[in-house]
Amino acid sequence: MLLEKISSPEDLRKLNIDELNTLADEIRRYIIQVVSRTGGHLAPSLGAVELTLALHYVFDTPKDVIVWDVGHQAYAHKIITGRKNDFKKLRQFGGISGFLSRDESEYDVFGAGHSSTSISAALGIREALDKKGEKDTKVIAVIGDGALTAGVAFEALNNAGAKEDKDIIVILNDNGMSISPNVGAIASFLSRKMTGKLMTSLRNDVKNFLKKLGVPGAIDLVRRIEDSMKSIISPSSLFESFGFTYLGPINGHKIEELIEVFRNAKIQKRPLLIHVLTKKGKGYAPAEMNPEKFHGVGPFDVSSGEFSKSKKPPSYTSIFSNTLIKLAKSDEDIVAITAAMPSGTGLNKFKEVFPDRFYDVGIAEQHAVLLAAGMAIKGLKPVVAIYSTFLQRAFDQLIHDIALQNLSVIFALDRAGIVGEDGPTHHGIFDLSYLRLIPGFTVAVPKDENELKDLLYSAFQWGSGPKAIRYPRGAGVGVEVTEAFNLIPEGQWEILKEGHSGVIFATGYGVYPSLRVADKLAAEGINLAVVNARFIKPLDDKILKNYLHLPVVFVVEENNIVGGLGGAISEYYCDDKGPIVFRIGIKDMFPPVGSQSDVRKFVGLDEEGIYLQIKNLYSRTSLS
């Protein structure tokens, strides 16, 4: 196998075109083999294999810099840059990340897990290289068509294209949105020839000739001549208006064609945008037929394309989706908004029932929040469903446009807490902190799937102002989900167990492990009360005062301990000179890649970790 001989891009450059095509097939088989066991982002990476090989073949990486957007499409990149064997532990605890990581390789120049950052980062790298005199180094940003729905990508295009001599290449990997029409071989031929040495030489000769003649605006005139030549065959492009020379579309699965275009682009010293057409899931029929289903997957059977099934309780996502649909059937003002994650948030089901009340704004979280604000002003009841980690991108809008105006918008934060294999870029461990500090927000966390249903129902009954409900990825704890709705008063906690040695204030995922820990400690003579602290804001003043006399309180939360529930309770008791507050959460760090159970064990939030932390405190003090 050719793949066995590839340890770096330098090995790649020794191959001929036929060998590169063979290698592409081998890499696809290897990606499918590994991802079928580990899970991962299959379809995007299968579609970018030839693109990856051509980039590393033409450009002198790692000296030349490739900035990948997100990393969904970068599995082939990982495999050929020295991580071929490590790839077998993709997204596993102690293994390699499913995204780009500067800690893994010098080829991962810019770490990324959130989309649309590549052009800005590449431009920053370009500016730094220019200032250090390294002008011969090429800088390439690879961005998917979906990522261009984010405003930051256009901000970067606008900035990067402002100077004609800014040497930056943007590769637009178009795998489905068809930003501009595929005009076939003619456009492909034109793009190759327009960047060839002859055309480049002719362009420079004409520009210099006009300058010598003293023709005003010679550079602009040359550009207009060039644009006119291209418009004869190819439609004008949005990107030209940003100051980029647009090339494409190019067939992203023809290595020879990609290599020729990239070689010609390499000699340019101006902003270029190369539009490459690829097919998500290329080379694996099930993924080609259903690329959305195979975008991010768990383990599956390669021969059938069927996913591994196990009997589990309903997921929090499905409970949210089903509850929202039920509520919307009796209230026509309820609308649902998401940012390019209809399936991930469960709103695809809402869309099927209420297509005219569903809004997918693309990868544009800021816009999603502002859209909801406008709707709320005119009496609609928007529910914005976004992953916890992605809502961070709209922090200013949460403060300035939602809370400051006291608008009644409900935020459903999926994938809160430890999310598992997607790793540090996707763990939702900051939302309790960044939402708690915003005046007027109500922040709730269900202990189980039935409480999620009731909190969502109740949120519509509470007073005006913004509300957020955060819940974890994956299956619930297995409680019975009742048909009837129960109103949970805003800010009211729930006492689950009484005790006199201390109290555990637990929220969300931490509630049931804390109950089991309390039972275990009771057998050892330590009697702890357990409270379901299901509201982070407002706090339950009555219950907090009820335990003011105890020597110690423990706070269990799946959030960074800085600014979370533990911080809130510490502040409360500090004012009253109350008990010692011992915080059990994520210790101000970015937790690693791994399954939810592995990572929870690593940070001490599994049942054993909670038990040991509480037991150790009693062992080394006189509290017991």
**Helix 596-603 and helix 607-620, axial crossing angle in degrees, nearest 10:** 10
What gap in Å lies between CA 441 and CA 220, rounded to an integer? 53
- The CATH number of whichever domain residue 554 belongs to comes to 3.40.50.920
Q: What is the structure's pLDDT at 216? A: 64
Same domain, 327 and 457: yes
Could you give the C-alpha distances from 75 to 141, 170, 187, 268, 430, in angstroms and in order? Answer: 16, 19, 29, 28, 28
Residue 280 bears catalytic tag: yes
Q: Is the pLDDT of residue 236 over 90?
A: no
Q: Where are the beta strands (DSSP E) in 342-444?
A: 358-360, 381-387, 410-414, 442-444
Residue of 138, 393, 453, 583 with catalytic role: 393
Q: What is the structure's pLDDT at 295? A: 87
Q: What is the structure's pLDDT at 146? A: 84
Q: What is the structure's pLDDT at 177? A: 45
Burial class (CB in 10 A: 0-12, 13-18, 19+), 69: buried
**Helix 184-194 and helix 218-231, axial crossing angle in degrees, nearest 10:** 160
Confirm whether 394 is domain-assigned: yes
Same domain, 243 and 370: no
Q: What mean pLDDT is predicted for residues 112-123?
A: 90
Q: What is the DSSP string of 136-200?
A: TS-EEEEEETGGGGSHHHHHHHHHHTTSTT---EEEEEESSS-SS---HHHHHHHHHHHTSHHHH
Q: What is the structure's pLDDT at 210? A: 58
What is the pLDDT confidence band of residue 470, given thresholds at 50, 70 and 90? very high
Q: Is the pLDDT of residue 233 over 80?
A: no
Confirm whether 517 is domain-assigned: yes
Q: What is the structure's pLDDT at 523? A: 95
Q: Is 0.85 topped by the overall pTM? A: yes
Burial class (CB in 10 A: 0-12, 13-18, 19+), 267: exposed
Strand order, beta sheet including 358-360: 358-360, 334-338, 381-387, 410-414, 467-470, 442-444, 535-537
Same domain, 116 and 219: yes
Same domain, 464 and 498: no
Same domain, 501 and 612: yes
Same domain, 463 and 522: no
Interior angle at CA 178, CA 175 and CA 182, nearest 5: 105
Residue range 565-623, pLDDT digits in tens: 999 999 999 866 779 999 999 999 999 999 999 999 999 999 999 999 999 998 887 66
Helix, strand, or coil (residue 377): helix
Same domain, 106 and 151: yes
Tell me the pLDDT of the chain averaged across its residues. Answer: 90
Residue of 91, 223, 280, 415 with catalytic role: 280
- Which residues contact residue 151 at a Cβ distance below 8 angstroms, ignoring those fewer than 6 apart? 364, 366, 367
Q: What is the structure's pLDDT at 204? A: 61
Structural domain harbouring 550: 494-620
Residue 365 bears catalytic tag: yes
From 230, 257, 280, the end of a domain falls on 280
Q: What is the structure's pLDDT at 148? A: 86
Residue range 434-444, pLDDT digits in tens: 999 999 999 99
What is the pLDDT confidence band of residue 62, given thresholds at 50, 70 and 90? very high
Bridge-based pairing state of the strands 442-444 and 535-537? antiparallel
Residue of 50, 365, 449, 451 with catalytic role: 365
Same domain, 437 and 551: no
Bridge-based pairing state of the strands 272-277 and 169-174? parallel
What is the pLDDT confidence band of residue 222, given thresholds at 50, 70 and 90? low
Q: Is the pLDDT of residue 186 over 60?
A: no
HEC letters along 104-149: CCCCCCCCECCCCCHHHHHHHHHHHHHHCCCCCCCEEEEEECHHHH
Q: What is the structure's pLDDT at 291? A: 87
From 280, 298, 332, the end of a domain falls on 280
Residue 393 bears catalytic tag: yes
- The CATH number of whichever domain residue 384 belongs to comes to 3.40.50.970
Q: What is the structure's pLDDT at 114? A: 86
**Helix 184-194 and helix 255-266, axial crossing angle in degrees, nearest 10:** 30
Q: What is the DSSP string of 271-328?
A: -EEEEEE--TTTT-HHHHH-TTTTTSB--B-TTT-PBP----PPBHHHHHHHHHHHHH
Q: What mean pLDDT is predicted for residues 218-227?
A: 62
- Which residues contact residue 603 at a Cβ distance below 8 angstroms, ignoring those fewer than 6 apart? 418, 586, 587, 589, 591, 609
Handedness of CA 371, 377, 380, 381 (dihedral sign): positive
Burial class (CB in 10 A: 0-12, 13-18, 19+), 53: buried
Confirm whether 19 is domain-assigned: no
| DSSP code of residue 244 | P
Residue range 134-168, pLDDT digits in tens: 999 999 999 988 888 888 999 999 999 888 889 99
What gap in Å lies between CA 173 and CA 168, rounded to an integer? 16
Same domain, 93 and 240: yes
Q: What mean pLDDT is predicted for residues 549-557?
A: 95
Strand order, beta sheet including 65-68: 65-68, 139-144, 169-174, 272-277, 245-251
- Which residues contact residue 21 at a Cβ distance below 8 angstroms, ignoring those fewer than 6 apart? 255
How many domains, in total, are found in the chain? 3
- Scanning 437-553, the segments in alpha helix (DSSP H) are 449-459, 511-522, 541-546
Confirm whether 291 is domain-assigned: no
Confirm whether 18 is domain-assigned: no
Same domain, 403 and 501: no
Same domain, 547 and 593: yes
Same domain, 57 and 202: yes
Confirm whether 589 is domain-assigned: yes
Higher pLDDT, 364 or 237: 364
Q: What is the structure's pLDDT at 202? A: 55
Confirm whether 8 is domain-assigned: no
Confirm whether 295 is domain-assigned: no
Nearest partner of 507 among 554, 565, 458, judged by Cα: 565
Could you give the C-alpha distances from 7 to 4, 54, 85, 107, in angstroms and in order? Answer: 8, 16, 10, 13
